[in-house]
Structure 1
Amino acid sequence: MTIPVRPGAGRPATRPAAADPLAALLDLPGVRDAAEGARAGIDRLLRHRLMRNRSAEVSTESALRGARASAALEGVDVPLADLRAGQVEHPVVQGSLRTSAALGPMVDTWSRAPGQVLARLHVLAAADLADRADLGRPGAHAGPRLAGLFSLVTAESSVPAVVLAAVVHGELAAIAPFGTADGVVARAAARLTGIARGLDPKAVSVPEVGFAELGREEYTRALAGYAAGQPEGVAGWLVHCCRATEHGALEGLAIAEALLRG
């Protein structure tokens, strides 16, 4: 099964739900229920009393934990305490930290000019990993499929935000447009999608931790299923992303409770 993106279509448009190229994804086995579970988990987090006036504190800690988990999914797992103390200099970790910390100002631009944001994400993620001339420059192999993905990001959609975020994540991981730090960039773009589309507007959940808790091997297997393009593989990836989102919401709740305890 190939996700039906339309290369070259990049302008936002209001379309009836029946014309939504992603609508059929909700009919894949388990996807609709998993998406509803993810939404419910995020809603529980957003109802936490700390969100009334201290959500920024939760968001800051979420960004730190998300950066650590994203690096761990790249095979670089470091203690959170060392990261908090500024004792980790590994380039993958530093790139993940820079990317995570910079997401806030990119939210509005992501839905209008995703190519611009994607280039910036790669500059941040791969600054110490790639040649300067290659930073922010997708390879020629990525062109048509990347343009099609951008058309999904900029258009309206009837599917839940968690499903669109999963497609963004899966497509960027499968395309690997830059050849370095593509995983970190894909996860950052997925989080941006969830924030911009109203799934987690306060950026207080930690979906990266959700993926890490489900296991790096399971993450890799689910991504491979998506990349293969068959319906069962696509469904498995979407459900996996929804489950990770639920786990990420629980991590956000844990952060909020820890802040309440002081």
Structure 2
Amino acid sequence: MLAGWVEIAADGVERARAACAELRWHEAYRRRWREVRAEAGVRAAQASAGLEGARLPLELARGYATGTAAAPGPAAPTSAEPPAGPEAVLAGAVRGAAFAERLMPDLGGREGAALPPLPQLLARAHTLVGAGWLAPDALGRLRTTEPARDVTGLGPAPLGREVAARVDLLARTVATSGAPALVVAALVHAEILAVRPFVAGNGLVARLAFRVMVTAGGLDPTGSVLPEVAWAAAPQQYVAAAAGYATGRPEGVARWLTACSDAVVAGAAEARRVADGVLTATLPT
């Protein structure tokens, strides 16, 4: 499945690799990479939540991450449809970013990332990002007869056994693929958006998985590249590229791969701004 993708994405893979390689040697990553990575995670969460309509200040996301702001509590067990307030969505995105960071290998460490099987990773991520604004019995559980309530504009999402079958095929493809990290991450991202395996929160999970894959796969060893910021700056183009993938046509797949590589290149530039800010104690707004 991915053989054709690798050929289509060759130029984008090289551009993304060069941008991430240049970023790696920024002075901030010598001793302060943990600070850069943590700040990048906060910014990734804020941008990802914004794509879900939860457009809230960066300072609030940082407050949720550091514990200086009280995050919304979990939904009541009896609530079938807890309100999806923007603060709860942002808090979920921040929890997801912290989870992603825990899965990333240390910069310069001898041990690589040992990721859980993809279905387990997705279920855990969804449980974290959806807590507080999705019904408890929907957290981490694949849809069966329920329609997806998010990521509109991509055509109908599958139902029933097809949902689990698509996730299983994706997991087997990822587990056996030797394709570049960008290609694998782009596939995972696009499939989650197209299949929408959960009732809601699929976009948050898709972007979290992309973030984990590009770091664990070695493309971005710093764990601080911010493609989410690029996507949040142009949400209509982001959705259009995902819709192109969902058609299954080669030109749609090519457009999606270009969108992912462009976002990584732009995200590396954004990470450089964060790294500069960490060194000078003047983080960009």
TM norm. shorter chain > 0.5: yes
Q: 1:118 aligns with which of 93, 103, 122?
A: 122
1:41 aligns with 2:38: no
Q: Residues of 2 paired with 1:134 and 1:83: CA distance?
A: 24
RMSD of aligned alpha carbons? 1.6
Per-residue CA deviation, residues 226-250 of structure 1 (Å, 9 max, x unaligned), is: 1111000111011001000111111
1:133 aligns with 2:137: yes
Shift, 1:41, TM fit = 0.8
Shift, 1:59, TM fit = 0.2
Kindly indicate which of the two structures has a greater share of residues assigned to helix.
Answer: 1
Q: What TM-score comes out, normalization by structure 2 length? A: 0.79
Per-residue CA deviation, residues 98-149 of structure 1 (Å, 9 max, x unaligned), is: 1001113335453x41111111100001112221112111123311111011
1:22 aligns with 2:2: yes
CA contact (8 A) 1:129 1:180 kept: no
- For residue 102 of structure 1, give the secondary structure of its aligned residue in structure 2: helix
Q: Residues of 2 paired with 1:85 and 1:24: CA distance?
A: 44
Write out aligned runs for 1:190-229 (5 A). 190-213=210-233, 215-229=234-248
What percentage of residue pairs aligned between the two structures are identical? Answer: 38
1:92 aligns with 2:89: yes
Structure 1 alignment gaps of length 5 or more = 1-20
Q: Residues of 2 paired with 1:151 and 1:105: CA distance?
A: 23
1:154 aligns with 2:151: no
Per-residue CA deviation, residues 65-109 of structure 1 (Å, 9 max, x unaligned), is: 000000111122112133334557511111101100111333545
Shift, 1:26, TM fit = 2.8
Shift, 1:224, TM fit = 0.5
Q: Residues of 1 paired with 2:117 and 2:43: CA distance?
A: 27
- For residue 211 of structure 2, give the secondary structure of its aligned residue in structure 1: helix
Q: Residues of 1 paired with 2:100 and 2:218: CA distance?
A: 15
Q: Residues of 2 paired with 1:230 and 1:156: CA distance?
A: 21
Aligned length: 237
- For residue 103 of structure 1, give the secondary structure of its aligned residue in structure 2: helix
